[in-house]
Amino acid sequence: MTVLHYLEKTAVEFHDKQSIIDENGSYTFTDLREMALSLASRIDEKLGGKRRQPILVYLPKGKECIAAFLAIAYSGNIYSPTDIKFPFPKVQTMIDVLRPALYISDGKNAQTLRDNGIPCENILLFEETSPAEFDAASSIAKMIDTDPVYVFFTSGSTGVPKGVTITHRNILDYIDWAADRFSISEAEIIGNHAQLYFDNSILDIYLCLKKGATLHVIPERHLMFPIRLLQYVQEHQINFIFWVPTALCQAADQRALEEVDLKCLRKVLFCGEVMPTKQLNYWRKHIPDALYANLYGPTEITDACTYFIVDRQFTDDEPLPIGFPCANTDILLLDETNSLVTTPGQQGELCVRGTSLSVGYWDAPEKTAERFCQNPINTRYHDLIYRTGDLAHYNDRGELMFDGRMDHQIKYMGYRIELGEIEAAAQGCEGVSRAACLFDEAGNKIMLFFTGENTPADITAYLREKLPRYMHPRAIIQLAEMPWTASGKIDRVYLRTKHIEAN
């Protein structure tokens, strides 16, 4: 079984139904398959029939980009997307790791590749069609479910990006679970917000292909303007979204749901970073009948390994659980001695086992061995786990609670402190939009950055009521806006560089 079986089925069952819509037009499921097969034929010819080769996709976000992904998969090769808006030195770091056998671009953007030393003969233009027939069934028959489908790059702590390699089986494991758990059908109208090089997009794309749902690639010009974004959702009657918390928070902070009626939304999923409960409560108040679900998981686990369907009321300063393991996934909490943690309240590193695990980092066996290692609880046979580097504990309900990154845990005034706990407390303060906490090792002080209407004095007074004295930030800095990474997470590297290391 491969992910291409999804499209092979839906192209028959829903052949004239719209599959992917962007601002420039749409593909039916038949169109999407035919476009992918035409490009697959040219890929196969260009590579001389070679398979399992890395191919960099250098296209704008849109239906053509997704068709290119599928074409690469049909040809038996491995796609790796990037962003044409990235400074090319950033793209070059990915190229240096991936060493693509081929580049897929278009007439407008291929020149950037050429200007940066990519030979013309290594570039395929998407818009140049092939008259040759491509035997999809024969190509698929040569694949196995442990063959890689894509490589997504994540930032490396050393500045060298890591290419997370994901297989057919990884995607099938995740999508089959999600389609069943959230009752996805052909009636779903999905609003894609995530960039296509970000793992949140995997759920959008492959739910569409599996169930015959319609996927709207929301125009990028709307993404930074919450009211315009929600108006697009309303106009196209989108009923399913899987967004990063930042997008939901920006809409809540600007009271956008008071301007736009989104009764069409039936399912609201989020993942990528901690979802502040205050802003979630705003969404739940205005769209009370929707299902809300918090998904957790790194790219190395095909986006999600746990989930929590929000089934009760939470106060604004109460953290959301990350809940329970997805199907066919096992979660282990391991303490510092590699012993299993089961007691509520006791903390451990969150480790994952199951078929959702990536096969590792592209061309980086040492990095792979650091994170993908033998389960220390089981010494009897080969049993890999992925060590996430995240800390978690069980609450009294048996739900997993996310406590933050191990590298965000500090020792201060003799106490172990989770910086995420300080952030969560500050986030609950009325008037605070977003908060981020860092530790200045040189100055030996906790620093809190926030956006919102409050003053630092207001937050200081609030935190005195919420946190023990040793957890109080010594510096509270108000920002006009929080810096964000390209994937919609708080840019802590920028905060540290600009506000700590620069001083």
- pLDDT tens per residue across span 86-127: 889 889 999 999 999 999 999 999 999 999 999 999 999 999
Question: What angle separates helix 168-181 from helix 200-211, to the nearest 10 degrees?
Answer: 70
Of the candidates 417, 387, 385, 386, the residue with the CA atom closest to the CA atom of residue 403: 417
Q: Tell me, what's the pLDDT at 503?
A: 60
What the block records as the tokens of 127 is 């818009």
The CATH number given to whatever domain includes residue 476 is: 3.30.300.30
The helix/strand count (H/E) of the chain reads as: 15, 26
- What's the token pair of residue 479? 């920002």
pLDDT at position 159 is 55
| Burial of 85 per CB tally in 10 Å (0-12, 13-18, 19+) | exposed
Report which residue type is found at 373: C
Beta-bridge mates of residue 330: 353
Q: Is residue 436 part of a domain?
A: yes
pTM confidence score: 0.86
Domain for residue 32, yes or no?
no
Domain that holds residue 434: 413-501
Q: Which residue has the tokens 């992910």?
A: 3
Work out the burial of residue 327: count CB atoms within 10 Å of its CB; fewer than 13 is exposed, 13-18 middle, 19 or more buried: middle
Q: In which residue ranges of the chain is pLDDT below 70?
A: 155-159, 411, 413-415, 502-503
Q: Is residue 419 part of a domain?
A: yes
Q: Is 468 helix (H, G, I), strand (E, B) or coil?
A: coil
Confidence at residue 146, expressed as pLDDT on a 0 to 100 scale: 97
Number of domains the chain contains = 1
Query: 170 and 358 in contact (C-beta within 8 Å)?
Result: yes
For residues 394 and 333, the answer to whether their CB atoms sit within 8 Å is yes
Residue 357 lies in a domain: no
Start-to-end CA distance of the chain, whole Å, equals 55
Most distant CA pair in the chain, distance: 72
| Residue 452 placed within a domain | yes
Q: How many CB atoms lie within 10 A of CB 88?
A: 15
Best CA proximity match to 353, nearest among 173, 181, 154, 164: 173
Is 426 within a domain?
A: yes
| 166 in any annotated domain | no
Does the residue 442 lie in any domain? yes
The Cβ of residue 142 has, within 10 Å, a number of other Cβ atoms equal to 9
Whole-number pLDDT of residue 95: 96
Cα 448 → chain centroid? 25
- What does the pLDDT read at residue 327? 95
pLDDT at residue number 157 = 46
